[in-house]
Every structure is written in C-alpha cells, then in structure tokens.
Structure 1
Amino acid sequence: MHTQMSDAELIELLRQDDQAAMREIFERYWKKLFNVALNRLAVPEQAEECVLDVLISVWERRNNLSLKHTLATYLAVAVKYRAIRILAKEYQKGLQNTVELKAYELYGYDVSSVDEYILEKELMETLETAVKQLPEKCRLIYRMSSEQGMSYKEIAEKLNLSEKTVQAHLTKATKTLRSDLGKQYPTFLISVVITSLHQLL
C-alpha cells in the first residue's frame, strides 16, 4: 500500500509514527541519496553513514517535520549539509597548522568546532541573503542548480538557454557569493560551503 502513496501521504503517516512509511521513504530514496553523498565524499562507508544519519534524523524528528520544498529536495539538502560537516571536519584536520586556520583561531573561534560552526544559522542566513542579491537570471539558475539539483543540461532546456550560458551564470554566482561571504568568514569555510552546494546534487 505504501509504495503507491505520494511523498506527502508518507510524511503524514510518518507524523503518526508509521514505521512502514519510514521504510518506504528509505527504499524510495536510499540509492539516490547514497549516490549524492558518494559523489562528494568518495568513500562508500562515509556516504552510507551520511545517508543513514540523515534518515535516522528524519525518523527522530518525524512529529515536528516541516517541509518547505519536496521531500526529495529536503532529503538531498540534508545529505548535502551532513556531507559539508564531514568535509569540514576533514578540511580542518588538513589545515590545522596553516596560517589561515591559526588566524581564524585568533579571532576567538574554537578550531575544534569548525565542523559545527559551518552549519550554524548565521552562516546559512548570510548565504541566503547573498543569493537574494544576485541578478534575477543568475539567482534563478543558481537556485535551480543548488536547491533543485538540476544539471546544466536540464536548466538550459528549462530556460531555453545554451549550457555555456548556464555555466557562465553559475560561475558568476559562485564568484559573487565567495566575495560577499568572504568579507565575514574565513576563505576555507566559504570554499567548503559553496563548492558543496554546487557539486553535491
């Protein structure tokens, strides 16, 4: 029965503690989410753990789950953010002796918590504000890529543009966001966030 249900119906059952609904969500999205995680993390074990953490979190938060977008988008973004945390932790280990990281520490941040800090509300709100300030076409294409997971080809077909034009808009958006966020945050944090938002989906 659950296999015939829409995502919205499954979410409603999930809020009622329906374990079968959770199993269906798992079966429906596991492979795609695993590929998303693996594409960025490269290590199968890490990718599997990443996806499991996200799905377990969905079950634990089922009674208060609120989706602004589709379930597919919600799960993909959740995996994306979880992967960012993993990457940030590895990035931190690789940079802990660099001048930049030491400078970051001098500003009063605990280096050991960089992976948590990167996902703090302040950074994501700053990113969203910067995205809203992009030119209209540039902003639209950026959101289609980073939030909806659309490829260059899909965006080009949707907007009746060439793939090169789409790529140019995304390149401009990325450079602008790096510049805007770079005024407030260390370069390596911005690099991890922006790169992940573009390449995970």
Structure 2
Amino acid sequence: MQELADIQLLHLLREGDENAFTTIYKRYWKLLFSVAANKLDNLGEAEELVQDVFSDVWDRRETLTLTGPLPAYLAVAMKYRVINLQAKKKRARAYSSYAMENISPEDHSTEQWLRFEDLKDLLSGLVAALPERCRLTYQLSREMGLSHKEIAQQMNISEKAVEHNLARAVKTLKTGLKHLSALLFATLP
C-alpha cells in the first residue's frame, strides 16, 4: 500500500478499504500536526484536530472528490479546523469577559442569566447554520478581528469575495436576530 499514489489510495478509500485509510493517515499525519501545532499553543488540541480531520475523511470517504492534490486538501481542512477552534475559544473568552463585567449574581436573577445563555446559544446556532465560507468569513472578521485583506489571504479568496461573504452572513444573521429579538421580548416580564 505504501507505494500506491494518492489517487489510487483515494479510489480504494471510497470502497471502504481500511488499509488505504491507514496509509493516507501515516503518510500525512505529520503534515497536519505541523499545520495545527504552528497555529495552536496546545499540542493536545493539535493532535485532537488531526484526529478530527481524518475522522471526517473517513466519514466522507464515499463522496470525497478532490480537485487538487490530497495533501493540499488535508492542509486546508486542518486550517479551517484551527480557525474554527480559535474563533470558538475567542468567543468563549468574550462571553466570559462580558458575563464577568456585566452580570453579577447579586444584581441579576437566574432567569436573566438563563435568558442570556439561551440568546447566546441561539446566536451561535445562527452562525453555525451559515454556509461554510460565509461562516468562516464572519468568524475571522467579527470574532477574530481580522481585516478583509487578512481574511482574503488566509482563505485564498479575493477581498471582493470576503466582502460578499461577510455581507451575506450579516444579512442572514440580522434576519435571524429579528426573529430572536421578537421571541426574547415576548418572554420578558
């Protein structure tokens, strides 16, 4: 199996060949680990993301079609996993900071805290439901604070595409938030 080309391994993988999967894993795990480890401080998180990418490859093996080389596909998949993890961590820090500064147990009731948590979960759900490119553009811009130029470079797209994706994401979120705010105000005492 070691001597087979990636295209042959992918063909065998589509048929459910576990040996082909193992060969791909052994061939590219170091690449994926280095991509993740270079961006993350935590090597345990890097290892976990490597497992996630390969797990996704296995889950999607029957429908996986590549337009370029396998290592490039895997590296981009890892890059997106890292971006999503960093955005999630940044969002968690922001929510925690907001909660520490604005919500204190003696000033607010448990009910208000639960409403805040529900609203946070609903907003996270709206962001997660965005199409992948829109979601990533939104997260890089709003949650990680990157400029349009930085986003374009990181995602390998034009700045115009960044603007389009961001506008689409914001429009979708605004529509969703209108429904959420109506729901929220309907439940206020």
The aligned length equals 138
Greater relative contact order, per chain length (Cα 8 Å cut-off, separation 6+): 1
Corresponding position of 1:13: 12
Does 2:134 align with 1:124?
A: yes
Alpha-carbon distance between aligned partners in 1 of 2:10 and 2:67, rounded to the nearest angstrom: 13
With the length of structure 2 as denominator, give the TM-score of the two structures.
Answer: 0.59
Gaps of 5+ in 2: 103-117, 138-148, 171-189
Counterpart of 2:34, as a letter, is N
Matches within 5 A, 1:64-143: 64-96=63-95, 97-98=97-98, 111-112=120-121, 114=124, 117=127, 120-121=130-131, 123-124=133-134
CA shift for structure 1 position 93: 1.0
Q: Structure 1 22/119 Cα, relative in aligned 2: closer, same or farther at 3 Å?
A: farther
* Mapped contact 2:134–2:165 kept (Cα < 8 A): no
Shift of 1:91: 0.9
Q: Larger Rg: 1 or 2?
A: 2
Give distance in 2, aligned partners of 1:115 and 1:35.
Answer: 31
TM-score (norm 1): 0.55
For residues 129 and 80 of structure 2, the distance between their equivalents in structure 1, rounded to whole angstroms, comes to 7
Q: Distance in 1 between matches of 2:87 and 2:63?
A: 28
Residue 40 of structure 1, CA deviation:
1.2
Are 2:32 and 1:33 equivalent residues in the alignment? Answer: yes
RMSD: 3.6
Name stretches of at least 5 consecutive residues in structure 1 with no aligned partner. Answer: 103-108, 128-138, 148-169, 187-201
